[in-house]
């Protein structure tokens, strides 16, 4: 029998199958929130509670779903830690999250019961600080690298997604900007191009409007640009989740590719995700057929290989680059999700 499967996004795919295909759940990224209560009166920081966290995480998932990356966050729990004159609260309730992040992680891993630390979740702690950075997270290559620490100002969907972007090794769009800091910035210098992402424009965190970026790259104001591809590039770069600008809302296909790759590379990231993203790309340089790994930078060229591997693992999703793929008739008895992070059509035949 032939069925048409509607992929998330814009794709309609013809797939020849022999049994019904279920709607596969997305890859789930498990998140555990911990609210650090006041050491003086034992209450939550003002405005920080489970409904507020649930509301922001719903918005985070809306943003993540728009990336068409086959992933969603699962808010596993919202816990409180510490108490009146408790050491957890005394140490971490009212401190800079950027300065004390590593210390928090060390303390939590040494005392997982009192800190309610979980190895199978991203551990997000929120304290009562109202000054300093709203959030902090390390990259997955450092020794202390598994905690997200938010101040009470950091319970904002874009901040949460930005910090978890760092958790999966996304780098600021302005990385490498010169001068290094925008403190006392008076103009000049060069924008950053060191985010290791192909589909974001070089960025300067001091730019205060999309026209600044547009004038630098295209010598035109944003509204004067008629090419849709250039407009899209500007919008996704300037309003990028990993930028320091306003209205951050985008993560690009190449950013999600890097994110996905870190799931393959780091076991500490695999611990919090329910499966693997397997990439298929007609243009993949890998010529080893089904012996390609399916990792983002070692994609299968052949769709059959991805389907066979995914059906056998049952927990993975397939990320498809645009193109036409020939399939053999096959029996599929387990959930299967195919999704494309790139613009363009995918035809399975
Ligand atoms: Zn950051």
The residue range of the domain holding 132 is: 27-167
Contact 254, 261 (CB under 8 A): no
Burial class of residue 96 in the structure, from the number of CB atoms within 10 Å of its CB (0-12 exposed, 13-18 middle, 19+ buried): middle
191 in the same domain as 130: no
**Residuewise pLDDT in 10s, the chain (349 residues):** 333 344 443 333 434 333 334 434 789 999 999 999 999 999 999 999 999 999 999 999 999 999 989 999 999 999 999 999 999 999 999 999 999 999 999 999 999 999 999 999 999 999 999 988 999 998 898 788 899 999 999 999 999 999 999 999 999 999 999 998 888 888 888 999 999 999 999 999 999 999 999 999 999 999 999 999 999 999 999 999 999 998 999 999 999 999 999 999 999 999 999 999 999 999 999 999 999 999 999 999 999 999 988 888 878 999 999 999 998 888 877 778 888 877 778 888 8
At 240, list the tokens. Answer: 């990028």
Considering the domain architecture, whether residues 127 and 188 belong to the same structural domain is answered as no
Instruction: Point out which residues pair with 35 in neighbouring strands.
Output: 80, 126
- Whether residue 91 sits in one domain with residue 147: yes
Q: Is residue 120 part of a domain?
A: yes
CB contact at 8 A, 270 and 263? yes
Same-domain status, 289 and 216:
no
- Residue 260 in any domain: the answer is no
* 104 three-state secondary structure: helix
- Domain identity same for 320 and 287: yes
Say how far apart CA 187 and CA 179 lie, in whole Å: 10
Angle at CA of residue 304, ends 303 and 305, nearest 5°: 90
Domain co-membership, 55 together with 161: yes
Q: What is the pLDDT of residues 271-302, one digit of tens each?
A: 999 999 999 999 999 999 999 999 999 999 99
Distance 288 CA to ligand 1 centre (A): 38
CA 173 – ligand 1 centroid, Å? 9
Rounded to the nearest angstrom, the distance between the alpha carbon of 172 and the centre of ligand 1 is 6
Rounded to two decimals, the pTM is: 0.91
Q: How far is the CA of 77 from the centre of ligand 1 (A)?
A: 24
Domain boundary among 148, 167, 186: 167
pLDDT in tens, 162-181: 999 999 999 999 999 999 88
Residues 108 and 200 in one domain: no
Query: The CATH number of the domain where 72 resides is what?
Result: 3.40.390.10
Q: Say how many C-beta atoms besides its own lie within 10 A of residue 112's C-beta.
A: 12
* Residue 263 lies inside a defined structural domain of this protein: no
Rounded Cα distance, 34 and 174, in Å: 31
Å from CA of 260 to ligand 1 middle: 18
Indicate the helix (H) or strand (E) that contains 167: helix 157-167
Query: In terms of domains, do 198 and 224 share one?
Result: yes
Whether residues 60 and 143 share a domain: the answer is yes
Cis peptide before 152 (omega within 30 of 0): no
* Number of independent structural domains in the chain: 3
Boundary-marking domain end, from 99, 134, 167: 167
226-262 tens-digit pLDDT: 999 999 999 999 999 999 998 999 999 999 999 999 9
| Rounded Cα gap, residues 41 and 105, in angstroms | 24
Residue 190 lies in a domain: yes
Same domain, 84 and 212: no
Expressed in angstroms and rounded, the spacing between residue 348 Cα and the centre of ligand 1 is 39
């Amino acid at each position: 029998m032939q069925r048409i499967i509607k992929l998330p996004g814009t794709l309609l795919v013809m797939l020849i199958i022999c049994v019904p295909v279920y709607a596969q759940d997305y890859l789930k990224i498990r998140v555990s929130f911990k609210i650090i209560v006041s050491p003086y009166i034992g209450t939550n920081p003002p405005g920080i509670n489970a409904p507020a966290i649930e509301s922001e995480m719903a918005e985070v998932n809306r943003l993540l779903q728009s990336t068409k990356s086959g992933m969603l966050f699962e808010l596993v729990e919202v816990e409180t830690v510490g108490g009146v004159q408790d050491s957890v609260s005394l140490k971490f309730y009212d401190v800079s999250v950027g300065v004390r992040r590593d210390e928090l992680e060390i303390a939590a891993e040494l005392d997982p019961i009192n800190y309610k630390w979980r190895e199978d979740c991203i551990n997000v702690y929120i304290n009562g600080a109202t000054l300093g950075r709203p959030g902090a997270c390390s990259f997955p290559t450092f020794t202390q690298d598994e905690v997200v620490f938010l101040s009470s100002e950091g319970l904002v969907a874009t901040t949460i997604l930005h910090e978890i972007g760092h958790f999966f090794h996304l780098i600021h769009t302005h990385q490498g900007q010169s001068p290094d800091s925008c403190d006392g910035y008076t103009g000049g210098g060069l924008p950053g191009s060191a985010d290791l992402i192909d589909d974001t424009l070089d960025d300067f965190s001091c730019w205060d409007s999309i026209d600044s970026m547009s004038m630098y790259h295209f010598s035109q104001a944003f509204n004067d640009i008629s090419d849709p591809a250039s407009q899209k590039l500007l919008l996704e770069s300037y309003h990028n989740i990993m930028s320091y600008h306003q209205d951050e809302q985008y993560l690009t296909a190449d950013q999600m590719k890097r994110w996905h790759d870190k799931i393959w590379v780091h076991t500490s990231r695999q611990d919090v995700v329910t499966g693997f993203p397997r990439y298929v790309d007609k243009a993949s340089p890998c010529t080893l057929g089904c012996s390609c790994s399916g990792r983002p930078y070692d994609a299968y060229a052949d769709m059959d290989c991805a389907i066979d591997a995914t059906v056998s693992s049952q927990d993975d999703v397939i990320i498809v680059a645009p193109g036409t793929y020939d399939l053999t008739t096959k029996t599929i008895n387990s959930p299967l999700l195919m999704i494309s992070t790139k613009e363009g059509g995918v035809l399975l035949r």
